[in-house]
Amino acid sequence: MWRRRFAFVCSPLVSSPKSTLIHNQAPYWHEHAKAFTTGNVNSEEGISSKVKVPFITFVLGLGGPGSGKGTQCAKIVETFGFAHLSAGELLRKEMSSNSAKGVMIRDTIKEGKIVPSEVTVKLIQKAIESSNNNKFIIDGFPRSEENRITFEKIIGVEPELVIFFDCIEEEMVKRVLSRNQGRIDDNIETVKKRLEVFVTLSLPVLDYYSRKGKVRKIEANGTVEEIFEKVRPLFAAEKVSTK
């Protein structure tokens, strides 16, 4: 069944300064908290009372290629004011340089493989740092358990909610092949590899978050609007902060 139905978006990594900041695991926030302060001073987490704890909501978007992550994330951004961080977009920007790193990213994307975690996490970190927003939807990341572990180690937070866009494979392939954005990986050979990578490396991430009760599965085969009407209530729920 997984071959035909998978897609995955996550949401708030940290929606409450009290509840979900991981203890002893937040070196990034400890160092950069000032950039994200919203007035929530927290001394319960063992953080200096002078350092304000960021009130941050993360939405992570994961799913098979063409499942509609980017499209739905854009609607979430528009409706709820999140900052949209697409790991793939960040990597594509980086690969446009002719540096050794750019060439490595290009080769990896062309092969449908996953770029080394540190590279992607650093790009996400930079994007968070340069944003004034305090709510982020991360689209297309983490794509592997190693991605997830590296993110949590460097950034120091974990998602509170994961939205899983569950789309049939045939539909995903059709959408990717008609995406028409000139991407080097939107061809049938690379798409097949990406689907395999999703199953092998990304589904374990979904399993991990499922075990934590964070995954909300969205059936993602209808129209953009139909799908968004299923996504919307997740953000209306009290536990997901959109303020």
Ligand X SMILES: Nc1ncnc2c1ncn2[C@@H]1O[C@H](COP(=O)(O)OP(=O)(O)O)[C@@H](O)[C@H]1O
Ligand Y SMILES: O=c1ccn([C@@H]2O[C@H](COP(=O)(O)OP(=O)(O)O)[C@@H](O)[C@H]2O)c(=O)[nH]1
> Which residues here bind ligand Y, judged by CB under 6 A?
65, 69-70, 86-88, 91, 108-109, 112-115, 120, 140-141, 143, 147, 185, 194
| Residue number, 72 or 241, with CB nearest to ligand Y | 72
31: left (phi over 0), alpha (psi -120 to 50) or beta: alpha
The item of ligand X, Mg ion, ligand Y, none sharing an interface with residue 91, based on CB under 5 to 8 Å by kind, is: ligand Y
Contact residues toward ligand X (CB under 6 A) are: 63, 65-71, 175, 179, 223-224, 227
Instruction: List, in sequence order, every residue forming a beta bridge with 84; answer none if it has no partner.
Output: 137
The item of ligand X, Mg ion, ligand Y, none sharing an interface with residue 227, based on CB under 5 to 8 Å by kind, is: ligand X
- Cα–Cα distance measured from residue 196 to residue 190, given in angstroms and rounded to the nearest whole number: 10
> Which two structure tokens, joined as six digits, stand for 79?
């409706």
| Residue number, 42 or 147, with CB nearest to ligand Y | 147
Q: Between vectors from CA 191 to CA 103 and to CA 187, what angle results, nearest 5°?
A: 75
Q: Between vectors from CA 74 to CA 83 and to CA 7, what angle results, nearest 5°?
A: 105
Q: Which long-range contacts (CB under 8 A, 24 or more apart) does 31-37 make?
A: 32/129, 35/129, 36/128, 36/134
Decide: 166 and 6 in contact? Cβ < 8 Å.
yes
The item of ligand X, ligand Y, Mg ion, none sharing an interface with residue 12, based on CB under 5 to 8 Å by kind, is: none
Binding mask 43-72 for Mg ion (x = CB under 5 A): --------------------------xx--
| Residue number, 52 or 69, with CB nearest to ligand X | 69
Interface residues with Mg ion (CB under 5 A) are: 69-70
